[in-house]
Amino acid sequence: MESAMSKLSRTIRLAGVVILCVVCCAPVFSESTDSEIAAGALLRRVIASELRAEAEDHSHWKYESREKVDGKFQEKLVIETSAGDLEQIQSINGVPLSPEAQQRQNERIAKLVRDPDEQRKHQHEAAEDAERTRHLLKILPDAVIASYGERRGDQVQICFQPNPAFHPSSHEDSVFHAMEGSIWIDRRANRLAEISGHLMRTVKFGGGLLGHLDKGGEFHVRQAEVAPGHWEMTLLRVNMQGKALFFKTIAVQQDETHDHFDRVPDNLSLLQAANDLKEPRPAGPEAEQTRAAR
């Protein structure tokens, strides 16, 4: 069971890592033209829009997730609820789970649904994660220097680099000073559509004693409008290396896509979500026909 996170927290989860993004951008139009507001002002406006959407959007969704885990591709079905998110593996490398493996999954889900302590733990973690994400987004316009990049339809690219006048107050904040990056903004919806990039230099914590993240680490996250007015994360790719607490190697390799979103009731309970996961799912050609009809 994943924690019940806000829309924005899920979209930009691993918030401390998001700050590691970088893409080399060549500005193609001036931010001082009469037809455009300054890039920094646009970034500030869109961040405010994201935070507002996070606070106001309480919708929950069922979607398919494909993720590479330990070199294997897992396809999962995920259902969000206000008490937490339930997920069930559907196949590994395209092969459906055996009846025995499926039964173990059902038992795991049933145990989580019956455990209020575990639910409270995840909700507490979700609240802390959401607060960290809100903080990082709020300081982003002050932590970077923004300039315009390219255009593609309704979307405009904002390239950013560290603002030397910004003084970080935490480990997460300090990563801003090792990052250049690119943000694609949907001007029509006033929302963040994409962030990608890499670390400009190695980031050390506690002078390196507490750990570090290596130069060149890459990150790419994308969100899209899955229904009118509702935006969700559709892609997450992370490639980071480093060390933590002296000699423990950090190897973050994540490749995840989400699609086929269907809205579920806002008051859906964990038990109802668990029962939904037990429903048989079409496989093979029938599954593809069902997806195509959505």
Report pLDDT for 248.
Answer: 62
Report pLDDT for 171.
Answer: 72
Task: Please give the chain's pLDDT, 294 residues, in tens.
Answer: 443 334 434 434 443 434 333 333 434 334 444 346 899 999 999 999 999 998 899 999 999 999 987 788 999 999 999 888 899 999 999 999 999 998 998 888 888 888 888 888 877 887 887 787 788 888 888 888 999 999 999 999 999 898 889 888 877 777 777 888 999 999 999 999 998 888 888 888 777 777 788 888 888 899 999 999 999 999 999 888 887 665 666 567 889 999 999 999 999 998 999 999 877 665 544 444 444 444
Asked if 49 and 146 count as a contact pair (C-beta separation under 8 A), the reply is no
Report pLDDT for 246.
Answer: 57
Dihedral sign (CA 120, 78, 59, 266): negative
Query: Could you write out the three-class secondary structure of the chain?
Result: CECCCCHHHHHCCCHHHHCCCCCCCCCCCCCCCCCCCCHHHHHHHHHHHHHHHHHHCCCEEEEEEEEEECCEEEEEEEEEECCEEEEEEEEECCEECCHHHHHHHHHHHHHHHHCHHHHHHHHHHHHHHHHHHHHHHHHHHHHEEEEEEEEECCEEEEEEEECCCCCCCCHHHHHHHHEEEEEEEECCCCEEEEEEEEECCCEEEHHHCCEEECCCCEEEEEEEEEECCEEEEEEEEEEEEEEECCCEEEEEEEEEEEEEEEEECCCCCHHHHHHHHHCCCCCCHHHHHHHHHC
How far is 179 from 181, CA to CA, in rounded Å? Answer: 6
Q: How would you classify the pairing of strands 218-227 and 230-244?
A: antiparallel
Q: How many CB atoms lie within 10 A of CB 197?
A: 24
Q: How many CB atoms lie within 10 A of CB 284?
A: 8
